[in-house]
Each structure stands twice: as structure tokens, then as C-alpha cells.
Structure 1
């Protein structure tokens, strides 16, 4: 496989803007494990192999179990996730697939049971950030290991 282009050197200003968004998303979401679960689920939905490889690796480094990582794709049927994690994953799916049904009121209400307004906005920013990264990786032909030397 060959990378289409190196987006980092092709447009550094654009990358700085996205890195700022990523930094904000990280600040707004202090639960690093939950943040990685969000990134994993969005990357699964979007079919982004590069990001999925990166974030499953990062989740393992945080101590996340292989079992839970393997079950993120089927979180609705897996009892290993907390109600809070389920709410975040539900919102991740709704926003990632926003053209399908938007974010229905029942999804909003479920998420708000576990996250206050500020945290809800933080989740939105996190989900938007990973969806942006997924689209950049897919559009530029990134694949697992493409930046390893």
C-alpha cells in the first residue's frame, strides 16, 4: 500500500487547526479510556483502519482489556460497558451517522442522564474530532504503519 499524500506536510496550517481541535477535545474529556472507546467506535463505523489500529493500541496502553476493545463494535449486546460508556457510544453512533437520523431526542435524553451540558458539548467535540481524523486518514490513503520508519 502507498500513502496518497502526506497531509501533514501538504498543509501544515490545516493540521495545526485540527491539532487544536484535538487538544480541546482531550481537555474536555478527561476520561482517557472513554475517549479512546469513542475513537474506536467512530473509526469502526467509518472504516478507518489507520485510526482503529492507533486507538485500539492507545486503549491497551491505558489498561483497557482486549475483551472490551473487541466488543466495542457490539457494545449494545455486551454487558462489559457501563451505562455512562453506553450513553457515550450511543451518541458517537448518532453523530457519526448523523445523516441517517440526526440525534434523536431519546438519544439526547439518555446521554444527559450521565453527562451534564458541559460534558455533552465535550462529547460532541470529541466525536467531531475523530470523525475529522477518520476522513483525513481515509481521503489521504493512510493505513496501519504508514508513518512507521
Structure 2
């Protein structure tokens, strides 16, 4: 497991289990099982390490909003999927995660929600920058948070 990923995982687990990073580090496996694709129901989600499923590597994921109980969605590009285990004294906890590069939002909501086809208050298309946020523990996503696939188009003006 790469050292950088180990640090991100340690921070992610410390937040998830409300423990100190030093405590979590002692329970972490040094190995992981990496996967190029993930099947949820009949749908196959790809990743960037799989040339065959690279077009299916873009996803929308759901997150609880920071300031209320609503749900926000963010697009990202899955680099790979992996299984990793923590070996607590009370038992092993295995996690199925995705390593994701998250796209940055468009500079304003008038650009991000530019197209509305049916009703003016509902946008059927979201525009995001082709740039990514800095990688960190937020790059780790539990796969149950995947909402759907996203489609990436290159905007040429």
C-alpha cells in the first residue's frame, strides 16, 4: 500500500471511528485488494486503471450537506476500488472504498446550472471544471455513497 494512501486511510478511519490516528494505525492492515471495476446490481462502474471501463469511471456521489439535512451530489473520477480491513480487538471491519479525484465546481451557480429544459427552476445539466480538488482523505469514498454514473463532455467554445 502506498504511504500516501496509508496516511489518507488513517485520517479517514480516525474520523469514522472517532479515534486518534495513532490508535487507528495499529489496527490497519498494510495490504489492500485493488479492483478495476465494481458491479452494483446490473450496473458496472469502471475506473481509470481499467482501460476497458475507463468511460464508466465518472460518478456522482452523495454527501450530507454541512449546514442542513439536505444531500449534496458531487462528480468525481474513480481511480480504483479497493477493500481494506481494520483488525480491532473486538473483530475485523472490512471496508469497500473508491479512490476518487473530485471535480471542482464551476465558478458560479449561473454557469454550473446553465441548462434548464423542462422547468426554469430545475437544471437538467450541471457544468463542472475539468480540474480536480487536492487529493486527501476526502478522496476516499465508501462505495455505498455512489449515486450513479456521470458523463464527462469536453466543452469546446
- Normalising to structure 1: TM-score of the pair? 0.25
- Structure ID, larger Rg: 2
Which of structures 1 and 2 has the larger relative contact order (alpha carbons within 8 angstroms, sep 6+)? 1
Q: Which has the higher helix share?
A: 1
Structure showing the higher strand proportion among its residues:
2
